[in-house]
């Protein structure tokens, strides 16, 4: 998942380090503060397409913010959910920032506060729930298949209505635009509509899949994202920026105002300092990387990369589907392929979903052995994850993220061949029976 | 406050960008994960000096962590306080991570939870209180002068005892090893002792002043820091690393275990992945910068820089003290000098602390004018802040952080001369009476 960084981005990063500007305040960032606001405006326009007058008014308006640049996706998700929580409780009349969660819920008469989202939400949401003091049990996990089905809208509607009737504050609904595990996309348009109807903040975690918006061919996969109240997008994924660059966009310029924090030596009241609106304090000038990328690669360049990565993904999944030693998890929504090695004897049962527990365990062990052996050989690399089947039992799947523009069909073929070589050798010498990788 | 970055650090940063490793898991960082643990061990040893056997056991032990590398001081403080909160509530029998703050306090019978610290704690603590759902009112602000006085220990002891008797959970006591505003240090040794007596987590925010520990001559300023349960140290201050590099050290290797979070595709249970213990997910290989700095500059090199910066600070404060147009705020504890311009007519009253409100307002306006005009001229730069006097009224003070090794006595003289030139010109043409900077 660690992507290549284009040479001009490396040069910009070098300049950032040399200048070492601090975006917390204007005095230590100079033009950086103005450029960061410009970059946030550009991304806001790409995702929300508000009229020109909107950007004329808000991009450089120090009393508002169109988003935050953060050092990672977890922080972007934390920003979104914590700002939504602030807004909901303050709108309900609580002095949340001063009084805290317990007192604010008591004062506003809510029994508890929850966040809703599909069960496959990124695990950073668990961290967010815990940090905010809501607790992981206050994450109402929705069944992704159910939600994507014909009755999804009614089910979601009923769940929110039921919770609200019980006196529960539904803070936010989180839609995933591409799970990091499997690239799966939630029904964003429907979720946006239901959330709006019940005045629930709609956050889209597009950390992984947001770049598909650049593609005219595939932007429709993210339909509904422009109705999100906030959006997470990670630069270190398909934007090819270095680790530690993420955005949280706010649909409403006033959202960040809710959490304004001031001090006497920076982020002063009325100042243009961006530190007023960010969870982080001192921050590097990562905005320049986003700016450079938009100027040099641009929407068209990203569209070409997204299209070519997805074409390669479809090619790889086709190779897997047509190879009798492998099983594809599902048709890839984005540029992630999940698949597994299946010995010939189990192929038919695996494809039909009729494996018994012993066979499932055997497949899991063999695929973990395969992944670790391939990692050890250092010729190529795929990661792995575990996905539940309909009975909740976990199956190991190899996980490949297609985002290197230099990857060819030949490379993809070689990866599968290396995996078969490893497994055939292991079946000869029975190494997979060794204690290290578990017994059959 | 934005410091110069040494050339070898710029080169390491370039390599980090080129390699683009992701420290969230071993598979995407390789040796990076092992090196990050090594770096945390080195800093732990510098601050805590545990026996060699301790480091032999814990540095590479995947079921523990000696600290986190974070992208900033706010995140380090958030890490420390949130981990302390988790530990206190879980030790008291609550299932805090799952049940959240309100339910956990109710279940354990606490009326509320507070964090204590001096009133001059960094404003990131306000963000932390709000994010964790405790609320800013749950920060019990102690009077720094009172705490530093002879009766400090008894006062602190009585306050904690009183809160605990009322059923309040005192989560943590925060000591500041160098306020970012003025470089002031809290009485750490006494605070550590009182905190330990009442089983309160003692966190030291040494973001600004931690580097003084490297100096044999001045390490005693931080006496007591080795008794802290956690310590924040920022690389982008006197360690001369780029923006976005901070540490949170944990005295106990088991603290991070409290908050372990796993997923199926990374940060797996039992793995060596550092993502199990961090608030952030994907993270750059900043550990290499800390490692390089320790190898190339080393404890001795940092000691020389700290000593020379502090010598320069004392020289600058002496120049201010002996110049009849300026007033020094107080003798600098660390490498920050606060001072202000005072017209000759007000000098005597200012030094004696007998300014009336109109005079105070006039001085505030003139010093803000001075700071902004100097910033506008782009010849040199000092920032400003506002510090309360004993009646709580805010006074504007110019703020200078001495950390550029190339700064000479001549430069310091020139800064004061430029300031006098600005103020003399303004008094001639009365520009400080303009609307922009406020009226007399």
pLDDT of residue A438 exceeding 50, the answer is no
Say what percent of chain B tops pLDDT 90.
Answer: 87
Give the residue from chain A lying closest to B131, CA to CA. Answer: A132
Say what percent of chain B tops pLDDT 70.
Answer: 97
Residue B428's pLDDT is what?
57
pLDDT of residue A436 exceeding 60, the answer is no
Say what percent of chain A tops pLDDT 90.
Answer: 86
pLDDT of residue A401 exceeding 80, the answer is yes
Cβ neighbours, 10 Å, residue B109: 10
Which uninterrupted H or E stretch holds A241? Answer: none
Which residue, A295, A335, A379, is CA-closest to A6?
A295
Nearest to A135 among B1, B17, B100 (CB): B100
Residue B3's pLDDT is what?
79
Q: What token pair was written down for A164? A: 């609200």
DSSP string, A295-322: HHTHHHHHHHHHHHHHHHHHHHHHHHHT
Residues of chain A in contact with residue B438, where contact means CB-CB under 8 angstroms, are none
Nearest to B280 among A2, A74, A104 (CB): A74
Mean pLDDT of A5-23: 95
Strand-strand pairing, A383-388 and A336-341: unpaired
Q: What is the pLDDT of residues A346-357, one digit of tens each?
A: 999 999 999 999
On whether the CB atoms of residues A400 and A411 are closer than 8 A, the answer is no
Residues of chain A in contact with residue B181, where contact means CB-CB under 8 angstroms, are 263-265
pLDDT of residue A439 exceeding 60, the answer is no
Residues of chain B in contact with residue A282, where contact means CB-CB under 8 angstroms, are 72-73, 234, 236, 243-244
On whether the CB atoms of residues A344 and A323 are closer than 8 A, the answer is no
Distance CA B312, CA B318 (A): 10
Mean pLDDT of B66-75: 97
On whether the CB atoms of residues B337 and B313 are closer than 8 A, the answer is yes
Interface test with A, best of B100, B266, B393 (most A CBs within 10 A): B100
pLDDT of residue A194 exceeding 80, the answer is yes
On whether the CB atoms of residues B38 and B58 are closer than 8 A, the answer is no
pLDDT of residue B346 exceeding 90, the answer is yes
Nearest to B105 among A102, A384, A399 (CB): A102
Question: To the nearest whole angstrom, how far is the Cα of B222 from the nearest Cα of chain A?
Answer: 23
What are the start and end residues of each CATH 3.90.1150.170 domain in chain B?
301-434
Mean pLDDT of B62-81: 97
Interface test with B, best of A135, A139, A337, A401 (most B CBs within 10 A): A135
Q: What is the pLDDT of residues B413-430, one digit of tens each?
A: 999 999 999 999 987 545
Q: What token pair was written down for B48? A: 């805590």
What are the start and end residues of each CATH 3.40.640.10 domain in chain A?
7-300
Residue A5's pLDDT is what?
95
pLDDT of residue A431 exceeding 60, the answer is no
Distance CA B123, CA B146 (A): 20
Q: What is the pLDDT of residues A416-430, one digit of tens each?
A: 999 999 999 987 545
Distance CA B12, CA B7 (A): 9
Lowest mean pLDDT among A126-135, B196-205, B244-253, B268-277: B268-277
Residue A266's pLDDT is what?
85
What are the start and end residues of each CATH 3.40.640.10 domain in chain B?
7-298
Q: Which of the listed CATH numbers 3.20.10.10, 3.40.50.720, 3.40.640.10, 3.40.50.10490 matches domain B7-298?
A: 3.40.640.10
Q: What is the pLDDT of residues A259-302, one digit of tens each?
A: 888 888 888 888 889 999 999 999 999 999 999 999 999 999 99
Q: What is the pLDDT of residues B285-309, one digit of tens each?
A: 999 999 999 999 999 999 999 999 9
Q: What is the pLDDT of residues B311-341, one digit of tens each?
A: 999 999 999 999 999 999 999 999 999 999 9
Query: Taking all residues of chain A, what is their mean pLDDT, rounded to a whole number?
Result: 93
Question: What's the 3-state SS for chain B?
Answer: CCCCCCHHHHHHHHHHHHHCCCCCCHHHCCHHHHHHHHHHHHHHHHHHCCCHHHHHHHCCCCCCCCEEEECCHHHHHHHHHHHHHHHHHHHCCCCHHHHHHHHHHHHHCCCEEEEEEECCCCCHHHHHHHHCCCCHHHEEEECHHHHHCCCHHHHHHHHHHHHHHCCEEEEEEEEEECCCCCCCECCHHHHHHHHHHCCCEEEEECCCCHHHHHCCCCHHHHCCHHHCCEEEEECCCCCCCCCCCEEEEECCCCCHHHHCCCCCCCCCCCCCCHHHCCCCCCCCCCHHHHHHHHHHCHHHHHHHHHHHHHHHHHHHHHHHHCCCCEEECCCCCCCEEEEEECCHHHHHHHHHCCCCHHHHHHHHHHHHHHHHHHHHHCCCCCEEEEEECCCCCEEEEEEEECCCCCCCHHHHHHHHHHHHHHHHHHHHHCHHHCHHHCCC
Domain at B301-434: CATH code: 3.90.1150.170
Nearest to B283 among A3, A244, A263 (CB): A244
Contacting residues for A356 by C-beta, under 8 A, at least 6 apart:
none
Q: What is the pLDDT of residues B214-273, one digit of tens each?
A: 999 999 999 999 999 999 999 999 999 999 999 999 999 999 988 888 888 888 888 889
Which uninterrupted H or E stretch holds A75? Answer: helix A73-91
Q: What token pair was written down for A300? A: 């068209």
Give the residue from chain A lying closest to B81, CA to CA. Answer: A131
Question: To the nearest whole angstrom, how far is the Cα of A324 from the nearest Cα of chain B?
Answer: 25
List, in sequence order, every residue forming a beta bridge with B383; answer none if it has no partner. B399
Nearest to A102 among B9, B22, B102 (CB): B102
Which carries the bigger pLDDT value, residue A381 or residue A319? A319
What single-letter DSSP state applies at residue A2? P
List, in sequence order, every residue forming a beta bridge with A330; answer none if it has no partner. none
Question: To the nearest whole angstrom, how far is the Cα of B25 from the nearest Cα of chain A?
Answer: 11
Nearest to B2 among A14, A21, A97 (CB): A21
Residue A435's pLDDT is what?
40
Distance CA B92, CA B109 (A): 10
Starting at the edge strand that comes first in sequence, how are the strands of the sheet with B326-328 ordered? B326-328, B336-341, B394-401, B383-388
Record: contact A137-B5, CB cut-off 8 A:
no
Question: To the nearest whole angstrom, how far is the Cα of B123 from the nearest Cα of chain A?
Answer: 6
Q: What is the pLDDT of residues A206-260, one digit of tens each?
A: 999 999 999 999 999 999 999 999 999 999 999 999 999 999 999 999 999 888 8
Interface test with B, best of A5, A6, A7, A20 (most B CBs within 10 A): A20
Confidence of residue B94 (pLDDT cuts 50, 70, 90): very high
Mean pLDDT of A20-35: 92
Residue B431's pLDDT is what?
43
Distance CA B219, CA B124 (A): 25
Record: contact A10-B22, CB cut-off 8 A:
no
Nearest to A280 among B71, B135, B281 (CB): B71
CATH 3.40.640.10 assigned to A7-300: yes
Distance CA B81, CA B117 (A): 12
Record: contact A262-B123, CB cut-off 8 A:
yes
Confidence of residue A390 (pLDDT cuts 50, 70, 90): confident
Nearest to B5 among A9, A18, A73 (CB): A18
Q: What is the pLDDT of residues B365-409, one digit of tens each?
A: 999 999 999 999 988 889 999 999 988 899 999 999 999 989 999
Question: To the nearest whole angstrom, how far is the Cα of A50 from the nearest Cα of chain B?
Answer: 30
Q: Which fold has domain A302-429?
A: 3.90.1150
Question: To the nearest whole angstrom, how far is the Cα of B53 from the nearest Cα of chain A?
Answer: 28
Give the residue from chain A lying closest to B381, CA to CA. Answer: A27
Q: What is the pLDDT of residues A95-125, one digit of tens each?
A: 999 999 999 999 999 999 999 999 988 899 9
Starting at the edge strand that comes first in sequence, how are the strands of the sheet with A394-401 ordered? A326-328, A336-341, A394-401, A383-388
Residue A428's pLDDT is what?
57
Question: To the nearest whole angstrom, how far is the Cα of A1 from the nearest Cα of chain B?
Answer: 8
Give the residue from chain B lying closest to A96, CA to CA. Answer: B135
Record: contact B243-A20, CB cut-off 8 A:
yes
Q: What token pair was written down for A367? A: 């695929």
Distance CA A170, CA A201 (A): 8
Mean pLDDT of A328-349: 95
List, in sequence order, every residue forming a beta bridge with A205; answer none if it has no partner. A176, A232
Record: contact B13-A10, CB cut-off 8 A:
no
Contacting residues for B157 by C-beta, under 8 A, at least 6 apart:
B194, B197, B198
Residues of chain B in contact with residue A241, where contact means CB-CB under 8 angstroms, are none
Confidence of residue B435 (pLDDT cuts 50, 70, 90): very low
Question: To the nearest whole angstrom, how far is the Cα of B105 from the nearest Cα of chain A?
Answer: 9
Which uninterrupted H or E stretch holds A147? Answer: helix A144-148
Record: contact A259-B73, CB cut-off 8 A:
no
């Amino acid at each position: 998942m660690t992507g290549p960084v284009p040479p001009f981005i490396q040069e910009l990063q070098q300049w950032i380090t040399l200048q070492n500007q601090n975006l917390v305040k204007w005095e230590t960032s100079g033009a950086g503060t103005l450029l960061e606001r410009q970059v946030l405006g550009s991304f806001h326009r790409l995702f929300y397409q508000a009229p020109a007058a909107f950007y004329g008014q808000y991009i450089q308006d120090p009393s508002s913010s169109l988003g935050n640049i953060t050092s990672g996706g977890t922080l972007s998700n934390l920003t979104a959910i914590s700002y939504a929580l602030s807004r909901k409780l303050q709108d309900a009349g609580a002095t949340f920032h001063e009084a805290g969660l317990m007192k604010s819920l008591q004062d506003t008469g809510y029994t508890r506060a929850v966040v809703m989202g599909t069960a496959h939400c990124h695990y950073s949401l668990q961290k967010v729930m815990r940090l905010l003091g809501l607790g992981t049990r206050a994450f109402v996990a929705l069944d992704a298949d159910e939600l994507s089905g014909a009755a999804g809208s009614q089910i979601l509607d009923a769940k929110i209505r039921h919770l609200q009737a019980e006196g529960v504050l539904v803070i936010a609904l989180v839609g995933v635009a591409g799970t990091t595990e499997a690239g799966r996309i939630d029904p964003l348009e429907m979720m946006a509509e239901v959330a709006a109807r019940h005045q629930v903040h709609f956050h889209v975690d597009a950390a992984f899949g947001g770049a598909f918006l650049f593609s005219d061919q595939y932007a429709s996969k993210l339909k509904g994202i422009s109705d999100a109240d906030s959006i997470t997008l990670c630069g270190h994924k398909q934007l090819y920026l270095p680790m530690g660059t993420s955005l949280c966009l706010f649909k409403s310029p006033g959202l960040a105002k809710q959490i304004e924090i001031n001090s006497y030596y920076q982020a002063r009241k009325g100042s243009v300092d961006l530190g007023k609106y960010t969870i982080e304090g001192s921050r590097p000038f990562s905005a320049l990387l986003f700016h450079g990328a938009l100027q040099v690669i641009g929407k068209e360049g990203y569209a070409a990369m997204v299209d070519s990565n997805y074409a390669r993904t479809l090619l790889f999944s086709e190779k897997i589907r047509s190879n009798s030693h492998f099983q594809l998890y599902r048709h890839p929504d984005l540029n992630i392929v999940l698949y597994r090695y299946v010995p010939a004897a189990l192929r038919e049962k695996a494809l039909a979903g009729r494996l018994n527990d012993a066979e499932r365990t055997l497949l899991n062990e063999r695929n973990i052995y395969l992944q670790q052996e391939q990692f050890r050989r250092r010729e190529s690399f795929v990661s792995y994850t575990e996905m539940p089947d309909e009975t909740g039992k976990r199956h190991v799947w190899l996980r490949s993220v297609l985002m290197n523009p230099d990857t060819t069909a030949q490379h993809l073929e070689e990866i599968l061949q290396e995996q078969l070589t490893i497994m055939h050798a292991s079946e000869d010498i029975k190494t997979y029976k060794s204690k290290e990788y578990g017994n059959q």
